[in-house]
Amino acid sequence: MRQPVAVYPGSFDPPTNGHLDIIVRATHLFPKVIVAVTDNSNKNPTFTLQERKKMIAEAVRRYPTVTVDTFSGLLVDYMTRKKASVIIRGLRAISDFEYEFEMALMNRRLNKRIEAVFLMPDEAYTYLSSSLVKEVFSLGGSVSGLVPESVEKSLKRSG
Ligand code: COA
């Protein structure tokens, strides 16, 4: 049986230790994990696509089965190009469920061979989000322990 390639898509603006937690969990389940940073987010990102890709690449350096890539357009089309069949998403709380449910069903409608797999991050990260990290940092709070070191450095440079 062919081993499935898993894609963990997101805007990662910036990546947090919660994202990293999900990536590590995915490496325990799948032989190859692609972290795919999207450029078509309507979120008006703080960091450029290449900055976000670089931050994740630094954070996952010690995991040889993880690669980091960027994509635009539909996720399912990107996955077809990469011969990937599993979408990894994190579920932090019930509040994530509805949004994730909608996306998973839409992706299934677009390509019925693609499955979504939901992983729960460590409970220490259930309240974490990229926007909260940026807000706390911009108001002078410490984000140490919430983001990888490379991200903390980038936040300091951008601030
Ligand atoms: N730890 C910490 N934060 C987490 C997290 C975790 N484990 N899981 C999610 N989050 C946070 C993120 O930090 C982010 O916070 P923010 O809103 O403050 O920025 C939020 O949850 C969700 O972000 P993310 O996981 O990056 O996903 P997204 O909603 O930005 O991106 C895509 C969703 C990229 C998967 C989706 O838009 C997509 O597939 N786009 C491609 C186009 C497409 O195919 N569209 C049709 C989809 S059906």
pLDDT confidence of residue 41: 64
pTM flag (> 0.85): yes
Q: In 3-state terms, what secondary structure has residue 139?
A: coil
Q: Identify the active-site residue in 19, 52, 53, 134.
A: 19
Q: Please give the pLDDT value at position 42.
A: 76
Distance (angstroms) between ligand 1 centre and the Cα of 11 equals 6
Give the residue-averaged pLDDT of 49-67. Answer: 97
Q: Of 23, 107, 29, give the one whose Cα is nearest residue 67.
A: 23
Residue type, 57: A
User: At 25, phi and psi to the nearest 5?
Assistant: -60, -40
| Whether residue 95 has pLDDT greater than 90 | no
Quote the mean pLDDT of the chain.
94
Helices (H) and strands (E) in the chain, counts: 6, 5
Q: Does domain 5-158 have CATH number 3.40.50.620?
A: yes
- Domain ranges in the chain are 5-158
pLDDT surpassing 70 at residue 9: yes
Phi and psi, residue 19, nearest 5°: -60, -45
- Find out whether 33 and 53 touch, Cβ atoms under 8 Å: no
Look-up: residue for tokens 């409970």?
Answer: 123
Query: Taking 70 as the threshold, does the pLDDT of residue 114 lie above it?
Result: yes
Q: pLDDT value at position 84?
A: 98
Q: What is the DSSP letter of 126?
A: T
Question: For residues 86 and 81, what is the distance between their CA atoms, to the nearest angstrom?
Answer: 13
Mean pLDDT across 1-13: 91
Would you place residue 159 in the very low, low, confident or very high pLDDT band (cuts 50, 70, 90)? Answer: low
Residue nearest to atom 25 of ligand 1 (CA): 10
pLDDT of 10 > 80? The answer is: yes
| pLDDT above 90 (res 1) | no
